[in-house]
Copies of this chain bind each other. A is one copy, B any other.
Amino acid sequence: NEVADLFKQLNLVGPGPQKKKKGGAGLKVPKGTRDYDPFQMAIREHVFDTIKACFKRHGAETIETPVFELKETLTGKYGEDSKLIYDLADQGGEMLSLRYDLTVPFARYVAMNKVQQIKRYHIARVYRRDQPAMNRGRYREFYQCDYDVAGEYAPMVPDAECVRIVSEILGALDLGDFTIKVNHRALLDGIFEVCGVPEEKFRPICSAVDKLDKMSWEDVKKEMTEEKGLDEASADKIGSIVQQAGGRDLIEKLKNDAEIMGNARAKEGVESMAKLWDFLEAFNCEKVTSFDLSLARGLDYYTGIIYEAVLNGAHVGSVAGGGRYDGLVGMFAKGGKKVPCVGVSIGIERIFSIIEEREKKKSNKVNRTTHTEVMVISGQKGLTVERMKVCSLLWDAGIKTEMSYKDNPKFLNQFQYCEQKGIPYAVIVATDELEKGIVKVRDMQAEEKTETEVQRAELVAKLKELLGKQ
């Protein structure tokens, strides 16, 4: 699997600028952060543009919130992970913290502005004082890329669209085969109830189940019984149920299970999954979806459907995740109306690492960091002003144009620059031709390095034709 290979290499290669951290005069960036160089930014821009295009195709709006929130806004939302929140110094005034994710600021935004309905995406950086593992793409400052729908709607309709969106994005980014795992928190709770788990142990047992993608059942069972004090019979019964995955077949099997359907929460979960499956078929994305009863997700605030996407055969962890959280806005809107929400977050940093390695491997390809279409080249010394006039003409026409900033650049160096940067056309300015009102155009990608004489008055039209512009 190519993607898995690429990711393995990440451990060795690591992203660009970090290697130079102890470069110039012992300068460095804060622990767990990095600069992005133009090559990394070009890839990042491509990935963001692909993702944004999908969000826009689904009619999503976008919002922005401050990078820091009042400390109290974040308090009590992240459980024991709260210790990873960055606080600002007390410089007189409010107590502030850097945002830890985009979901809590979104819920605060919805509650504060009394929004009843919104479908929004938000792409921005968040901050966690975690132990960084930069060679595996885990930073203290990283992008999140969230899509959420808030509002009272028909059951599972926006929930199904979230699956479709993940499927469109992972497909468009050309990451190979993927699986979107789905499960339902109410169903899990119902199963725990059926298996005799006491209510106060639901969340700890849920978090043990969530480890089934990384640990064997034996180890998970040990955690349930030895660490979390569950009796062995209950644990075994859970194990026999949650290790199942499938699609419509699994839904039918559960529907025929009288014990499961006899529990109100489990019944609600199964019926919701059946409805979801109808919708996934209508959205033509059921083939990439797996109803996986071991999917549990860590966050406490999920109340319904939960999602997690993985790349098949690549052990890189999840590349998207999310779920329904109907209670979070209500935590802010004291006395106000509750606003149910569902959303997914694209694991953009992992995806970015994978694509960066893939592009680096294409050794015979120029990794373009600019969009320059034309380089205006000096044929002799002393033509700075003449080159400027040509640039000006081309900029006016919307043609992306550069020239050397030197007064007397070497002829060959200018062509070399075109090749390094992948600039497709060169316009050569020289004294003799200037007198005749002529410049020369060279196609840098052609096998034969021939030049065409063009009347200056026709230069814009000629270049637009070559560039396929109207």
A residues in contact (CB < 8 Å) with B: 17, 20-21, 23-25, 27-31, 33-38, 41-42, 44-45, 56-70, 73, 86-91, 93-94, 96, 98, 108-109, 111-114, 118, 120, 125, 127, 129, 141, 149, 151, 153-154, 157-158, 160, 164, 168, 278-279, 282-284, 332-336, 369-372, 384-386, 388-389, 391-392, 395-396, 398-402, 405-407, 421
Contact = CB atoms under 8 A, between A and B. Distances in A.
B25 A111 contact: yes
23 contacts: A23-B113, A23-B114, A25-B333, A25-B335, A29-B70, A30-B68, A30-B96, A31-B93, A36-B64, A38-B62, A57-B401, A58-B401, A59-B371, A59-B402, A67-B127, A86-B88, A87-B89, A88-B88, A154-B405, A154-B407, A158-B405, A282-B385, A284-B392
Contacts of A56: 370-371, 400
Contacts of A91: 86-87, 129
A283 B392 contact: yes
Contacts of A385: 278-279, 282
A20 B109 CA distance: 11
B24 A36 contact: no
A91 B44 CA distance: 31
A340 to B, nearest CB: 11
Contact of A67 (B67, B153, B278, B369): B67
Contacts of A386: 282
Closest 7 CB pairs of A and B: A38-B61, A282-B388, A153-B405, A59-B402, A33-B66, A27-B112, A87-B89
A406 B69 contact: no
Given A23-B114, A113-B17, A333-B25, A407 B157 contact: yes
A36 B63 contact: yes
Contact of A34 (B66, B69, B108, B399): B66
Given A57-B398, A96-B30, A157-B384, A112 B23 contact: yes
Nearest to A33: B66
Contact of A164 (B58, B88, B127, B392): B392
Copies in the complex: 2
A406 B93 CA distance: 45
Which of A56, A168, A396 has most chain B Cβ within 10 Å? Answer: A56
Nearest to A165: B395
A114 B370 contact: no
Given A24-B332, A88-B89, A151-B405, 4 more contacts: A27-B332, A57-B395, A61-B369, A154-B406
A154 B129 CA distance: 46
Nearest to A398: B57
Contact of A282 (B27, B34, B65, B392): B392
A385 B401 CA distance: 50
Nearest to A70: B30
Contacts of A402: 58-59
B388 A30 contact: no
Contact of A90 (B24, B89, B154, B370): B89
Nearest to A118: B38
A3 to B, nearest CB: 24
A35 B88 contact: no
Contacts of A407: 154, 157
Nearest to A68: B30
Contacts of A38: 61-63, 118, 120
A41 to B, nearest CB: 5
A94 B33 CA distance: 12
A128 B178 CA distance: 44
Contacts of A369: 61
Given A283-B388, A371-B56, A27 B108 contact: yes
